[in-house]
A and B are shown apart, each in its own frame.
Chain A
C-alpha cells in the first residue's frame, strides 16, 4: 500500500537557524505534494505545494525540494521563528486521485530561544 512517512518525529532548532524537515514517500505514482503546518488544537494550514514535474519551489521563508529518484521531499524554513513551532505534515496525492491526500506521520518542530 501507499505510505508517506517522516524521518524524524521531533526537531529542535535555535531561533534564527534554518530548519529542514524531511519526508519520504513510497508510491512513484504520486504527482503532487503539500506541506502543512498544524498548531495545537487547530486544523492543518497550507504552507507550500509542489508538482512532480518540479524539483524545487520557494515561498516566503520556505522552500520545498523534491527528489523523485529517491522519493524524498523536504521543507526548509529559513530564519526559524518561535511562531514556526508546530507539527509539520507532508501529504501526497496519487495521479488520478482527484484532490484526495494521504498524510505522513508528522514532525514536531520546536524552536528554542
Chain B
C-alpha cells in the first residue's frame, strides 16, 4: 500500500491566490522529504528538500519565497504556492525515503500520487 499520502489530488485556484499542498508519511517518520514538479510529458524536477525542524533547501532557480515549505513534524511537510500564476500550473509530487527495515540512509524514495494544480 501507499506509504506517502498527498492532498489534495487536484486543485484549481485563481491567479494571485495561494495554495497549500500536504504530504504525509504513513506509519513512518520522515526527517527529510522531497518536492518535485512535473510538466506534461516531462521528467520530474527537484524543487526543494524539506527538512524536519529546519529550513528547506531549494534547488537553483526555485524561488523560496514563492514556494514555501514547512516540515513541522516527522510525518508532515507542506508546500504552499504563493501568489499563484498560470505558469505555476503543474503536477507537484512529494516523496520520502522509506525502508521496511527502518533505516532510510540508502533507501529509495517513495512518492505520493501528486497534486495537479491549475491556476486560472
Is B108 touching A41 in the complex (CB atoms < 8 A)? no
B106 within 8 A of A: yes
Which of B4, B107, B116: most chain A Cβ within 10 A? B107
The size of the chain A interface, using a CB distance under 8 A, is: 21
Chain B residues with Cβ below 8 Å from A100 are: 34, 46, 49
Closest chain-B Cβ to A1's Cβ sits at a distance in Å of 10
Chain B residues with Cβ below 8 Å from A49 are: 108
Is B6 touching A101 in the complex (CB atoms < 8 A)? no
Task: Digitize B88-120: 1 where CB-to-A-CB distance is under 8 Å, 0 elsewhere.
Answer: 000001010100000011111111111010000
Is B108 touching A34 in the complex (CB atoms < 8 A)? yes
Chain A residues with Cβ below 8 Å from B6 are: 43
Q: Total A-B residue pairs with C-beta atoms closer than 8 Å?
A: 52
B62 within 8 A of A: no
Q: Give the CA-CA distance A100 to B6 in the complex, in Å.
A: 19
Q: Give the CA-CA distance A75 to B105 in the complex, in Å.
A: 24
B77 within 8 A of A: no
Q: 7 closest A-B pairs (Cβ-Cβ)?
A: A43-B111, A99-B97, A103-B44, A43-B113, A103-B43, A43-B114, A44-B111
Could you tell me which A residues sit within 8 Å of B by CB distance?
A: 32, 34, 36, 41-46, 49, 51, 89, 98-106
A-B contact pairs, 16 of them (CB 8 A): A41-B114, A42-B114, A43-B114, A44-B44, A45-B111, A49-B108, A51-B106, A89-B43, A89-B44, A99-B97, A100-B34, A100-B46, A100-B49, A101-B46, A103-B43, A103-B45
